[in-house]
Structure 1
Amino acid sequence: MATEATALHLTDVRLPAREPFDFRASLGFIGSFPAMAGQQGTAQAALTLAVREAGTTLGVRLTAAPGAPGLDARLAAEQPIGPETVAAVTDRIDFYLGLSDDLTAFYRLARQDEPFARVVERLHGYHQVKFPSPFELLCWAILCQRVPMPVARQMKRALVEAVGNRIDVGGERLWAFPDVEQLARFEEAELAALIGNQRKAGYLHRSVRLWAELDEGFLRTGPYQEVREQLLKLHGIGEWSASFLLIRGLGRMERIVLDKEMARAVQRVYGHPVDEAQFQRLAEHYGPWQGYWGHYLRVGG
């Protein structure tokens, strides 16, 4: 673990973003997202977090790049940061913050939908912020089911601190969520002792091992139905959790489901409640962007 006295290795990287891009909107969402409360800093127009990539725990500080759409990233680690690690971290951050998302077609469709166009006006340039990794979201989806949010966060923190991916950067202590290999070392009984829930520990124990056999690249880009079927084989993952993973973990925007929160968001924006058929007609207007439509409804509705 890094301490205040440790001389950290630093690397600076520029991450381009597709226009339009408004980093302030990303920071606003992150600062109000309860599932990630306490894990990331958003002070002074910067995002600070820790990530675990290529077997390395790194501190990351992100600020808006001057004069160009994108971000400047400063990476810090106890050991030298090699090119493989830099590539893994920059890919993770790009994906996490949706920097490469091209919103052109989505915004064109939104202009044809007057109630929703007002939402886009408020969120213009916001690229969907996912979970820092789909693996972290898998674990969160298991932990947060049928328990209060503070209890789920406490269980998640217990996992993070048990692994110990800590790094101190500029007086700020940052913790990275464990990677698959780290969580796979825990036996089911150890997980149960950490989180205080035998059933969830069983789900985690089995799903972590199944996840280790999956290819994240395929999950991001493979045929939607095949990916969905793979997710539904994970223990503790049902229809709702699979949709959550597809959209907020893997950036799969092709489909969206109607749940209670989505129904409330649609009613706020369109002024009336909708049934399943009405919801699907609204969503079909956005085609492969309906996941983005749903996310904007929740965030800006």
Structure 2
Amino acid sequence: MTNLRKTCEEEPCKVIIPLPEEFDLRVNLGYLERNKNECMYEVENNTITRVIAIGEIQTLVQINVNDKNQMIVHFLAGKPCETTDVIRYIREWFDLDNDLTPFYQMANADPLLKLPVENFWGLRLIGIPDLFEALCWGVLGQQINLNFAYSLKKQFVEKFGESMEWEEKKYWIFPTYKRIAKLTPIDLADIKMTVKKSEYIIGIAQLMASGELSKKKLREIGDFKDVEKNLIKIRGIGPWTANYVLMRCLRFPNAFPIDDVGLINAIKTVLTMDRKPSKDEILKLSIPWRNWESYATFYLWRILY
């Protein structure tokens, strides 16, 4: 893989990833630390510690950034450091291969995006590379506030996920679709989500376990609208959840959850409106964002949370 250097002479093994100029550790950590119930990683002293699971392989890593604008990835436990899959995951997680120069040029001239770009310059659209995790997070977040969504995710992960221990701390791994596919809604009854959401998540897991649904298959479809339609066919996945997954997992730059409450409230806040903007108004405001709708949405979300 390009832009990657490994040093394994000393333990723990580490990899150095040169970062794009448009990367600011502070604002990215600010996003990652936005909720105390986040259970998929720990941020402490500007260092991220988490397990990255790719298939059956689980690797515990620590990630920080040095003063040379390089991301340093230390491999603490699990799969040896010669794998490039973990680095590929991290690059995708932080969207490091996306040149944001055109986005910033557009946003700096846009009355709606100018403020969020000034406040959060260097923020990447932090993704969810695992499709099952992204779909579950989308379902869990439907029609509830962000704090409650994080609480549900924490309950779900700690009940059905595996974990790795390092220096007397436990690091959680998102439940696999293979495990969830074997459950019934009764098994999820202790988690304070609706029965419908339990059914949706189990149904998604079963589709993935059967091979009918996968990230690879969705990417092979290619066309944005066709992928969106395929996602919406899945029980429990509406336009909002589909576009959320298209943004944060499948990385379509034009994904646009236009009916999102957070997006609507962020626009209202930035423009100091005394009412919520209509869908037609949002469509008009978003004309300059063409092919950057996902980043525009993500930056506007940061105004509120």
Does structure 2 retain, via aligned residues, the 8 Å contact 1:62–1:72?
Answer: yes
Counting only pairs closer than 5 Å after superposition, residues 108-147 of structure 1 correspond to structure 2 as 108-131=105-128, 133-146=130-143
Counterpart in the other structure of 1:4: none
Letter in 2 for 1:249: C
Q: Secondary structure at the match of 2:17?
A: strand
Contact 1:189 1:201 in 2 (8 A): yes
Q: Is the 8 A contact 2:39 2:172 kept in 1?
A: no
**Letter of the aligned partner of 2:72 in structure 1?**
D
TM-aligned CA deviation for residue 136 of structure 1: 0.9
Q: 2:25 — aligned with what? A: 23
Q: Which has the higher helix share?
A: 1
Give the AA of the match of 1:202.
E
- Contact 1:168 1:174 (C-alpha < 8 Å) held by counterparts: yes
Code of the residue aligned with 2:53 in structure 1: it is R
Q: Does structure 2 conserve the Cα–Cα contact (< 8 Å) formed by 1:10 and 1:74?
A: yes
| Structure 2: 5+ residue stretches without partners | 1-10
C-alpha distance in structure 2 between counterparts of 1:152 and 1:258, whole Å: 18
Structure 2 CA distance for aligned equivalents of residues 122 and 148 of structure 1: 24
- Find the residue that maps to 1:174 and give its secondary structure: strand
TM-superposed CA distance for 1:73, in Å, is: 0.8
What is the match of residue 272 of structure 2?
A: 271
| Larger relative contact order, structure 1 or 2 (CA cutoff 8 Å, min sep 6) | 1
The residue matched to 2:49 in structure 1 has which SS?
strand
Are residue 293 (structure 1) and residue 296 (structure 2) matched? yes
Q: In 2 relative to 1, CA 150–118 (structure 1 residues): closer, same or farther, beyond 3 Å?
A: closer
8 Å contact kept, 2:185–2:198:
yes
Q: For residues 258 and 149 of structure 1, what CA distance do their matches in structure 2 show?
A: 16
Partner Cα distance (2:150, 2:68) in 1: 38
The one-letter code matched in structure 1 to 2:287 is E
2: distance between equivalents of 1:286 and 1:143?
28
Aligned Cα RMSD in Å? Answer: 2.6
Helix, strand or coil: the match of 1:247? Answer: helix
What residue number does 2:215 align with? 216
Written as runs of structure 1 = structure 2, the 5 A alignment for 1:64-213 is 64-68=65-69, 70-78=70-78, 80-81=79-80, 83=82, 86-131=83-128, 133-146=130-143, 152-184=149-181, 186-188=182-184, 191-193=187-189, 195=191, 197-212=194-209, 213=211
**Structure 1 residue 193: deviation in Å?**
4.5
Q: Which moved more, 1:286-295 or 1:275-284?
A: 275-284
SS at the partner of 1:195?
A: coil
- Is the contact made by 1:166 and 1:174 (CA closer than 8 Å) also made in structure 2? yes
Query: 3-state DSSP class of the match of 1:288?
Result: coil
Q: Where does residue 227 of structure 2 map in the other structure? A: 227
In the superposition, the TM-score normalised over structure 2's length comes to 0.83
Question: How many angstroms apart in 2 are the aligned matches of 1:120 and 1:113?
Answer: 10
The alpha-carbon deviation at position 164 of structure 1 amounts to 4.7
Aligned with 1:47: secondary structure? strand
1:174 deviates by 0.7
- Greater shift, 130-139 or 99-108, is seen at 130-139
Which amino acid is 1:230 matched to?
N
- Residue 280 of structure 1: how far off its partner (Å): 0.8
Q: Distance in 1 between matches of 2:217 and 2:100?
A: 23
Rounded Cα–Cα distance in structure 1 between residues aligned with 2:185 and 2:226 = 32
CA deviation profile, 1:135-169 (whole Å, cap 9, x unmatched): 21211222333556666545433443344521122
TM-score normalised according to structure 1 size: 0.84
The 3 A distance-change label for structure 1 pair 118 and 82 is closer
Letter of the structure 2 residue corresponding to residue 67 of structure 1: K
Query: In the TM superposition, what whole-angstrom CA distance separates every residue of 1:32-62 from its partner, at most 9, and x where no partner exists?
Result: 146x624322210111122211312222211
Aligned-pair CA distance for 1:28: 0.4
- Structure-2 change in CA distance of 1:296 and 1:152 (3 Å): closer
Q: Which amino acid aligns with 1:255?
A: A
**Is the CA contact 2:112–2:267 (under 8 Å) kept in the aligned structure 1?**
no
What is the aligned-residue identity percentage?
A: 24
Classify the secondary structure of the residue corresponding to 2:198: helix
Secondary structure of 2:51's counterpart equals: strand
Cα distance in 1 for residues equivalent to 2:149 and 2:281: 34
Return closer, same or farther for 1:31/1:153 CA change in 2, 3 Å cut-off.
closer
Kindly tell me: are residues 300 and 39 of structure 1, through their superposed partners in 2, closer, same or farther at Cα, counting changes over 3 Å? same
Could you list the runs of 5+ residues in structure 1 that have no partner in the other structure?
1-8
